[in-house]
Chain A
Amino acid sequence: ELKVEQNPLFLSMQEGKNYTIYCNYSTTSDRLYWYRQDPGKSLESLFVLLSNGAVKQEGRLMASLDTKARLSTLHITAAVHDLSATYFCAPGGFGNEKLTFGTGTRLTIIP
């Protein structure tokens, strides 16, 4: 059974700082997804990483995937308040196979 571990679970950081969220998973997976969830809202897709070494960037967020290490990272650069949310990683199989979500990282950006 695939296990997904995110850390930290809670992260409080000041505006303007950089930080990284880590996502480790236990069995081989050829792709990984990052989602954002605001309180009381649904999940918004951020990144789809499809191969080993994949790196994607959108604004102040950058995600990478190392399938050999079974590790994905979500790096935040110069954080702003709008990035406050819970971030989930979810390794998945080919096509529409089951996504297994991590427990999430609750990120709070402090002015």
Chain B
Amino acid sequence: EAGVVQSPRYKIIEKKQPVAFWCNPISGHNTLYWYLQNLGQGPELLIRYENEEAVDDSQLPKDRFSAERLKGVDSTLKIQPAELGDSAVYLCASSLVGADEQFFGPGTRLTVL
């Protein structure tokens, strides 16, 4: 069974540029999460989807971050414009609704210059 797929794996951009990350969850997983992981810290939840609905986006900085999951499968996380402090690893995870375990993708390492 394929795991959570993310692309790109690495991205280097200049500040004020836009950037987008893509995630394809494990087949059949209704719940999808985007996390931010700063260097030396644990992941922090940005947004959680159940199917197409964002059920928890309280930690998403909505002035510059946006996310979508139009058909309840793939998801895109966007930053516009990027700031130096956005340099981090962006992790996507998925799980079955009501399940105990979240499965993480390999992450996208963003560097903002």
Contact = CB atoms under 8 A, between A and B. Distances in A.
Interface of A: 4, 31, 33, 35, 41-45, 48, 50, 88, 90, 95-96, 98-99, 101-104
Contact of B41 (A31, A43, A104): A104
Q: Is the interface of B mostly helix, strand, loop or mixed?
A: loop
Contacts, number: 52
B82 to A, nearest CB: 21
Given A42-B107, A90-B42, A104-B42, A99 B56 contact: no
B98 interface: yes
A101 B104 contact: no
Interface size on B, as a range, is 20 to 34
Nearest to B50: A96
A42 B42 contact: no
Interface centre among A44, A99, A102 (most CB of B within 10 A): A99
B100 A98 contact: no
A33 B100 CA distance: 9
Interface in B66-112: 91, 93, 95, 97-107
B37 to A, nearest CB: 9
Interface string B28-52: 0001000000001111110010100
Contacts of A43: 43, 91, 93, 104
Given A98-B48, A101-B42, A104-B42, A42 B101 contact: no
Contact of B44 (A41, A44, A50, A101): A101
A35 B100 CA distance: 13
A31 B100 contact: yes
A99 to B, nearest CB: 7
A99 B95 contact: no
29 contacts: A4-B42, A31-B100, A33-B100, A33-B101, A35-B104, A41-B106, A42-B104, A42-B105, A43-B93, A44-B104, A45-B101, A48-B101, A88-B42, A95-B97, A95-B98, A95-B99, A96-B50, A96-B95, A96-B97, A96-B99, A98-B56, A99-B45, A99-B102, A101-B44, A102-B42, A103-B41, A103-B42, A104-B40, A104-B42
